[in-house]
Amino acid sequence: METMGFISIIPAILSIVLSFVTKNTIVSLVIACITGTLLAGKGIMGFPTLLKESLGTTSFSWVMLLNTFIGILVAYFQKTGAIQGFSQKVHDKKLSRKGAQLLAWILGIFIYFSDSFSPLFVGSTMRSITDKAKISREKLAYIADSTSAPVSVLMPITGWAAYLMGLAVGVGSIATQEDASTLFLKAIPFNFYALFAVIFVGLIATGIVPDFGPMKKAENRAMEEGKVLRDGATPLIGKELTEMEAYPGIKPRVFLNFILPVLMIISIAIGTYISMKSAKTMEAFLFVLIFMSISMMIQGIPFKEVMNTLTDGVKGAVPAVMLLALAYSVNELSTQMGTANYIISLTEDFLTPRMLPAIIFLVSAIMAFATGSSWGTFAICMPIALPLAFSFTNNQMSTLIIASFASVAGGGVFGDHCSPLSDTTVLSSTGAASDHIDHVKTQLPYALVCGTFALIAYLMVGFILVKV
């Protein structure tokens, strides 16, 4: 396996450490990219070349466009008064702090078809509600983040499921898509981190498990001082979206301008997945944006105002797009330097049948944390983990195979949750209008608790259920 050894993990470590120290993620990522390209021997022009290589891809274009479309959609929701109207209906119910957190949790679980849309939707929808309930933006970002990827990776009708199943086809006794689907379904109870993460949000929201660590400090600040953001915090979203007012005189039609568009997106995404085996999420958003543009003009909003709203939506998405662009650049640099191969090489001596699920979970988590990409981690780890597992079972399906498949999925999500470079972490900060590093710092202890329990569970599976 080609790797530059320890040097290969320096850019990722540098970007993460500097992000916490400087509290400026963009500057930290730029420094990490420049340092990495110099260490890789790419010279002074290495950084602009890296940007061209990492951003001129279908993967980044998809995330960038989806984030931009969602920014426009949120702007439309606000200009039509839909979010304000929805928030007012919720306020009329006089929800407690506990009720507001539980509503955010339920919304996050409900919007399971896209881990990109879910945190942006939950954050944008619930922000004014949680602000009035004196819930910190960090808590809202955590709820949105921990009900996005963890739910998506558990559901068999999402892009995550299709991707993971596709990586398994052709390995060992998994010959067809049907075999891979069966494996995915059997692996759901073994996807411990995702299950624990979703349940843990509910326990935190209800108060069964009290807040602790940096989150407790943030929540005390919000309750006692009324500050949903700490002094000096920089929300990861443009003011165009956080300060937008509804168009004067427009009637806030919550169903037409909010519930119906969301239902249309969900219906198109799920419908195309069932009929075409691919959820056309991007196309769903584009269709809804066209529908809402026409609908807004019919409701009396001038064409020029609709276009200005669209432009403001794009502007509001710029901070997140910039951060995502640099995170993708660090990920590409890590790929070129062989970071994943180096991490895998460190664990080769520990790979025994009983230890395999736990080791795979740890390696996947570390890799996703270092690169900020769970899908990239899946692509690297699954072709290694499954053949290893099958080699211990004489090519037969067993608990070891199922647990190994689940540990790659769960480990990728765990590392993704802990990393400031992760796109879903970025989008959660964006939706909640939270300071990005504040979100990472407050979520990290909660993710580590769930990750520790998941690791213990994989050790128990290995020593109790795996037959050597």
SS3 at position 235: strand
Mean pLDDT in consecutive groups of 10 residues from the start of the chain, 468 residues: 78 79 79 89 87 80 78 84 76 81 89 73 85 92 91 79 78 79 90 96 94 94 92 75 73 84 84 77 87 92 92 81 77 78 70 86 87 75 79 84 92 90 84 89 95 95 79
User: Whole-angstrom Cα distance, residue 82 to residue 259?
Assistant: 9
Residue 14: its pLDDT value, please?
84
For position 238, what pLDDT does the model report? 60
Helices 423-432 and 303-337, axial angle in degrees (round to 10): 150
> DSSP secondary-structure letter at 277?
S
Distance CA 160, CA 137 (A): 27
Residue 353: φ, ψ to 5°: -55, -45
Task: Please tell me the predicted confidence (pLDDT) of residue 243.
Answer: 61
Task: Return the C-alpha torsion angle 316, 320, 322, 324, nearest 10.
Answer: -150
Q: How far apart are CA 404 and CA 157, in angstroms?
A: 21
Neighbours of 221 (CB within 10 A): 18
Tell me what pLDDT residue 407 has.
Answer: 94
Q: Cα 178 to the chain's mean position, in Å?
A: 27
Q: Which 3-state string (H, E, C) describes the chain?
A: CCCCHHHHHHHHHHHHHHHHHHCCHHHHHHHHHHHHHHHCCCCCCHHHHHHHHHHCCHHHHHHHHHHHHHHHHHHHHHHCCHHHHHHHHHHHCCCCHHHHHHHHHHHHHHCCCCCCHHHHHHHHHHHHHHHHCCCCHHHHHHHHHCCCHHHHCCCCCCHHHHHHHHHHCCCCCCCCHHHHHHHHHHHHHHCHHHHHHHHHHHHHHHCCCCCCHHHHHHHHHHHHHCCCCCCCCCECCCHHHHCCCCCCCCCCCHHHHHHHHHHHHHHHHHHHHHHHCCCCHHHHHHHHHHHHHHHHHHCCCCHHHHHHHHHHHHHHHHHHHHHHHHHHHHHHHHHHHCHHHHHHHCCHHHCCCCCHHHHHHHHHHHHHHHHCCHHHHHHHHHHHHHHHHHHHCCCCCCHHHHHHHHHHHHHHHHHHHHCCCCHHHHHHHHHHCCEHHHHHHHHHHHHHHHHHHHHHHHHHHHHHHCCC
Closest C-alpha to 414, from 427, 428, 424: 424
Specify the pLDDT at position 144: 92
Lookup result for tokens 């989008």:
427
* Residue 435: strand pairing partners: 235
Q: Are 143 and 429 in contact (CB under 8 A)?
A: no
Q: Is 378 exposed, middle or buried (0-12, 13-18, 19+ CB in 10 A)?
A: buried
Counted residue by residue, the chain has a size of 468
Write the pLDDT tens digit of every residue in 219-275. 999 999 989 999 888 887 765 555 667 888 888 788 888 889 888 887 887 788 788
Q: Is this structure's pTM higher than 0.85?
A: no
